[in-house]
Amino acid sequence: MDLSTMSKRLQGGQYPEYPADANSLEYARQLDNQDKLRHLRQQFILPSKKSLKKKALNGTIPGNTSTHPVTNGVNGTNGETNGHGSVNDDDESSIYFVGNSLGAQPKAVRHYIDAQLETWASIGVGGHFTNLEESPLVAWQDMAEDCGRKSADLVGASPSEIVIMNTLSANLHLMMASFYRPTEKRHKVILEWRPFPSDHYVIESQIQWNGLDPKQSMVQLQPDDDFYLSTEHILSEIDKHAEETAMILLPGIQYYSGQLLDIEHITKYTQQKYPHIIVGWDLAHAAGNVELKLHDWNVDWACWCTYKYICAGPGAIAGAFVHERHGKVEHKQGPGGESIPVFRHRLEGWYGHDKSSRFNMDNKFEPTPGAGGYQLSNPSAIDLASLSAALSVFGQTSMHDLRSKSLALTAYAQHLLDCILAHSSSEKPPFRCITPRDPLQRGTQISVLLREELMDQVSKALVEGGVVCDKRKPGVIRVAPVALYCTFEDVYNFMRILRTALA
């Protein structure tokens, strides 16, 4: 079965039938040779085994053969040969399976940031309004809007429904400030049992800000013994608390288990039965990872970061979606005949003011129609340059194609994990996978829950083998082969190291 057929089968929710030699380096390389996205790996700088040991800056980056920061290595990615040559072991790229925490660096980032710095140095404040020839960037005041347009395919929305601003937690606060309007009767927020701490803090503090008790107003959905939250269970809890609920805020992908929730069905069910409930989504682990259709799914609002799967850099500027029905700006006539804007309440800021009259400085807020009206401040041009560079790589493919490869990568990883368990000689299984086996219920992540006593030896072996992946207490290793820059050979080598460590 070729890679294309495999991906189509997985898109239908079915696993492929792997041949007898699937657990071999040769088979992994065959899949890589069939991968139409394999060229995208050359767009990234991956840490090398040597660079992971770096203790001080020395003017070099992985893959370079000199100290010049933009000189390419053997093939532009850390001296990588993908099995078709030989390089020094320390110069080989790491197995970078941690894109669910921080994506690898796109090579374009240095070029885009250099362009921003040259613009600043050359024309100063004029950079806000000037498009320089030969620059990959638009004028600074247009950069957020430009990045919004380039993000449309990532989240399935019209550009006017996307705003690039702030960071994830700040945007969650801003969205809740506008959309969480509790009453004495309806004040509850339905969330997951184990939200990422920032989400928990945001929800808890917003409830307290409104003078309410989190113990009474937070409804945390509990999973089963396999850390699985079934859609049926979620809907039944919504039914149970609906008349007291003001908002639902759930993750597109649960960060610990890696489960992809049914965003479309949960949103539609809630809005049809309980139109008073606002449905929001934290897409930190979903944006740039799985296909999303936020507009078509009628999601009220959503937020995401850009430093994980979108690869815009640590702490990078974040994004938010506001459905067009919540971004409308209409006008009514005031008592003196003046035009008064009518719009959804939100915390207001200068950059939320319509660009056409923003510099009138008259302190009469005229919101930008759409999600842009929820902006507060002049965004960092350096942050936007980094994001624009990352989005330029996404512009060379589509979320559909990335998702197709992702399904194949994680299915192959699951197959090799199954092989390790099948050949384990221990009385108790050394691990279990808590991410759903259904390929349509997960993104680019498989969470491996190790027996507690094995964590130290496995972690040590992964580090020594040049593997970068993260651990989440209690006992989970999150394995995330990102389609943009990871290979089937990476998956095979990871499993070889894991199998040896467990033995």
- Over residues 255-278, the pLDDT tens digits come to 999 999 999 999 999 999 999 999
pLDDT digits (tens, 9 = 90+) for 118-134: 999 999 999 999 999 99
Q: How confident is the model at residue 64 (pLDDT cuts 50, 70, 90)?
A: low
Q: How confident is the model at residue 503 (pLDDT cuts 50, 70, 90)?
A: confident
pLDDT digits (tens, 9 = 90+) for 145-155: 999 999 999 99
Listed in order, the ranges of the chain carrying CATH 3.40.640.10 are 144-328+372-391
240's CB contacts (< 8 A; 6+ apart) are none
By three-state DSSP, how is residue 294 classified?
coil
As to burial, measured by CB atoms within 10 angstroms (0-12 exposed, 13-18 middle, 19+ buried), residue 461 is middle
Q: How far is the C-alpha of 235 from the C-alpha of 248, rounded, in Å?
A: 11
Q: What is the CATH number of domain 144-328+372-391?
A: 3.40.640.10
By three-state DSSP, how is residue 332 classified?
strand
| pLDDT at 68 (0 to 100) | 39
Residue of higher predicted confidence among 75 and 489: 489
Query: For residue 311, is it left (φ>0), alpha (ψ between -120 and 50) or beta?
Result: left
Q: How far is the C-alpha of 43 from the C-alpha of 149, rounded, in Å?
A: 21
Does 75 have pLDDT greater than 50? no
Listed in order, the ranges of the chain carrying CATH 3.90.1150.10 are 3-54+89-98+398-502
Does 82 have pLDDT greater than 80? no
State the binding site for pyridoxal 5'-phosphate. Answer: 168-169, 196-199, 282, 285, 307, 350, 378
The residue among 410, 402, 426 whose CA lies nearest residue 494 is: 410
Q: What is the mean pLDDT of residues 93-110?
A: 97
59's CB contacts (< 8 A; 6+ apart) are 67, 69
Q: How far is the C-alpha of 41 from the C-alpha of 45, rounded, in Å?
A: 8
> Residue 57 corresponds to which amino acid?
L
pLDDT digits (tens, 9 = 90+) for 342-381: 999 999 999 999 988 888 888 899 999 999 999 999 999 9
- Among 101-105, 106-110, 191-195, the minimum mean pLDDT is found in 191-195
| pLDDT at 426 (0 to 100) | 79
Q: How large a percentage of the chain has pLDDT more than 90? A: 85
Q: How confident is the model at residue 69 (pLDDT cuts 50, 70, 90)?
A: very low
Q: What is the mean pLDDT of residues 421-433?
A: 90
Q: How far is the C-alpha of 426 from the C-alpha of 167, rounded, in Å?
A: 46
Taking the alpha carbons at both ends of the chain, their separation in whole angstroms is: 31
State the binding site. Answer: 168-169, 196-199, 282, 285, 307, 350, 378
- Among 138-147, 159-168, 275-284, 334-343, the minimum mean pLDDT is found in 334-343
Whether residue 483 contacts residue 20, with contact meaning beta carbons closer than 8 Å, is answered with no
CATH fold of the domain at 3-54+89-98+398-502: Aspartate Aminotransferase, domain 1 (3.90.1150)
Whether residue 365 contacts residue 351, with contact meaning beta carbons closer than 8 Å, is answered with no
pTM for the predicted model, two decimal places: 0.93
* Continuous H helices in 160-247: 168-179, 197-209, 214-217, 231-241
| pLDDT at 88 (0 to 100) | 60
Does 239 have pLDDT greater than 60? yes
State how far Cα 207 lies from the chain centre. Answer: 26
